[in-house]
Amino acid sequence: MEESKYFHTQEVSIVLAGEAGQGIQTLQKILVNSLRKNYHIYAAKEFMSRVRGGINSTEIRVAHKRIQAFVDQIDILIPIHKDVMKRKSILKRINDSTVIIGDKEIMDENDLKGYNFVNVPFTKIAKEIGGKIYFNVIATGMLVGILDIEQDLVIEVIKQHFQKKSQEIIENNIKAIKKGYEIGNKLEAEETIVVEIQPEEDLTHNLILNGSEAIGLGAIAGGCNFIASYPMSPSTGVLVYLSKMSREFEIVVEQTEDEISAINMSLGAWYAGARAMVTTSGGGFALMDESLSLAGMTETPIVIHVAQRPGPATGLPTRTSQGELQHVLYAGHGDFPRIMLAPGTIEEGIELSQQAFNLADKFQVPVIILTDQYYVDSFYNLKELDLKKFKNEYHIIETDENYKRYELTEDGISPRGIPGYGKGFVAADSDEHYENGRITEDHDVRIQMVQKRLNKLNLLKENIIPPVFTGKKEYKGLIIGWGSTFSIIAEAVENLKNEQLGFLHFKQIYPLHPIIDEYISKADFTIVIENNVTGQFSNLIQQEICKKIDHRILKYNGLPFAVEEVETRIKEIIERRKKHD
């Protein structure tokens, strides 16, 4: 067979777009569950801050190998609303290799001029089946037909998805899938678009998790048994996940009246011996500022998940950003140590969340997990997890009559007791205090206690999670990233095939691992890539090791980096340097 212009053998990028409330997520879920048996899948979404209206989209990459990053390229676009073709963020991603499959009946013909448009009468077919509501399912059937998925598998997915609906609705959805499947097969037979990605034998043992579920699962693995939070996008998914798992894993879940109550309840839970967490976003974390200092003064452990979004104020509530690093690093009045973690992959989200509880328990400090909207809402399939490797460490002691909650120790860590476990009195005072926890204004004691708390920082620096380096040991250019940019940068660097580039990814961003000094010293030039306007991680590096970052690639429009975008901007820097050399 002669290859068509739109022939895909390695992977295909599908974008589904329509109004909020039109069922884009339903379409995505059915499609992903139909594909997951034989293909590697990655998905990310862009959505507006409204229940109805606006234009939302979701990208689904289907490939023969594991993929974990967002790309600009759209191979197949399915618009289910006329305004999709007016959306700038989508139009910028359409090129000569993009096929738009839609219904002319609902589109503005002027918006389709110059594009590769394939007309399918989705609306007419849907009405014949039972109503416009079946438009999405017909489109889903068409896509699985193009991808040549077993029809019986897709029908089973439909039955599972609509199992709580009436028999008539289930049967109509099956009709819609079958009709769409026929259309997809026809498009492929006519060579309008051909997708022949090599399938895997069986990937059903793989897990499909998004970032919120990763943080939640890691928390469960870390022994979390209490969460108090106030819903705030994009952090709410963690609260929802732990709520679903609460009975199975005996987790107390409290939706509080505000963020101040949430953190104070969680501090109270730790004081009583629980392992508690809070999930919030930048604006919610701002309200927790005073209580964060309370954790510092009382040396009460706490784990806080902050899912970043663009600010200031309400900003862009449903978009992504890495703009909270500086906020989280300097939050709270007074000086006290903290740990900041930032997972880059779903696997790291599970591992770091589990570790966060051990670190908080051991060092008696706040541990903050920084993610963002892009991270928590993206998902892909991953291999089965070995949960046996996770071991929880508990540092609560049984107190005696002479117990001193804030006993002065060389490393700054005092033995932590809880009320009712032993004979000692467990005090916790938000004012400065003696070793026994009683309030004091003694200046000498103040110096001792401040130094005791800060001594933990030296110990924290001996237990830093090291960054991950990929590339040749002898490099000229060093790319540096943190958090959710990992997979995007990694794929971009791999595509560049430049052996003179190395990539250093940080999953603990504070305290900063001192090995960064060694990596930067070896490089002819450095590039830090991050989703904020001021280069907050670049600034932290320069502050900590007194070495200048040569180049910064920054993005702050609310969207994540795309693989192609990172490739282009790295190339531009290299070309500029060549001209100056």
- Report the amino acid identity of residue 172: N
Asked which of 22-26, 39-43, 171-175, 451-455 is least confident by mean pLDDT, the reply is 22-26
- Please give the pLDDT value at position 259: 98
**Mean pLDDT (whole number) for 108-130:** 94
Position 316 pLDDT exceeds 90: yes
Per-residue DSSP letters for 259-271? HHHHHHHHHHHHH
Would you list the DSSP string of 287-340?
A: HTHHHHHHHHHHT--EEEEEEE---STT--TTS---TTHHHHHH-SSS----EE
The predicted-structure confidence for 389-420, as pLDDT tens digits, reads as follows 899 999 999 999 999 999 999 999 999 999 99
pLDDT tens-digit map of 260-279: 999 999 999 999 999 999 99
pLDDT at 157: 93
Q: pLDDT at position 3, please?
A: 54
Task: State pLDDT tens for residues 47-100.
Answer: 887 767 788 999 999 999 999 999 999 999 999 999 999 999 999 999 999 999
Q: Among the listed ranges 3-12, 157-166, 392-401, 493-502, which one has the minimum average pLDDT value? A: 3-12
CB 307 within 8 A of CB 285: no
Q: What is the mean pLDDT of residues 454-473?
A: 94
Average pLDDT in the chain? 94
Position 4 pLDDT exceeds 70: no
pLDDT digits (tens, 9 = 90+) for 96-115: 999 999 999 999 999 999 99
Nearby residues of 567 by Cβ (< 8 Å), 6 or more positions away:
492, 495, 496
Q: Assign 476 to helix, strand or coil.
A: coil
- pLDDT above 90 covers a percentage of the chain that reads 88
Closest among 294, 564, 568 to 433, alpha carbons compared: 294
Asked if pLDDT for residue 2 goes beyond 60, the answer is no
- Closest of 178, 185, 173 to residue 145, by C-alpha: 185
- pLDDT number for residue 1: 39
pLDDT band for position 22 (50/70/90)? confident
Lowest mean pLDDT among 70-79, 184-193, 449-458: 184-193
DSSP state, residue 399: B
Which of 147-156, 246-255, 567-576 shows the lowest mean pLDDT across its residues? 147-156
Question: What pLDDT shows up at residue 168?
Answer: 94
Task: Give Dmax (Cα) for the chain.
Answer: 87
Rounded mean pLDDT of 540-560? 96
What are the tens digits of pLDDT across the range 484-499?
999 999 999 999 999 9
- Is pLDDT of 230 > 60? yes
19 phi, psi to nearest 5 deg? -70, 150
For residue 512, pLDDT over 60 is answered with yes
Q: Which residues pair with 439 in a beta bridge?
A: 433
Domains in the chain: ranges and CATH: 7-195 (3.40.920.10), 208-389 (3.40.50.970), 396-463 (no CATH), 468-580 (3.40.50.920)
DSSP 482-499: EGGGHHHHHHHHHHHT-T
- DSSP designation for 420: T
Q: Which residues contact 386 (CB under 8 A, 6 or more apart)?
A: none
Residue ranges of alpha helices (H) inside 133-202 are: 135-146, 151-161, 167-189
Report residue 527 as tokens: 């590039």
Tokens of 579: 């001209």
**Given a cut of 50, is residue 169 above it in pLDDT?**
yes
pLDDT, residue 21, reads 78
Taking phi over 0 as left and psi of -120 to 50 as alpha, with beta for the rest, 4 belongs to beta
* Mean per-residue pLDDT, 247-272: 98
Whether the per-residue pLDDT at 543 is higher than 60: the answer is: yes
Asked if pLDDT for residue 283 goes beyond 70, the answer is yes
Q: Quick one: pLDDT band at residue 26, thresholds 50, 70, 90? A: confident
User: Do the beta carbons of residue 500 and residue 575 sit within 8 Å?
Assistant: no
Mean pLDDT in residue range 512-533: 97
What are the residues facing 52 on neighbouring strands?
Answer: none
Among residues 255, 552, 531, the alpha carbon closest in space to that of 372 is found at 531
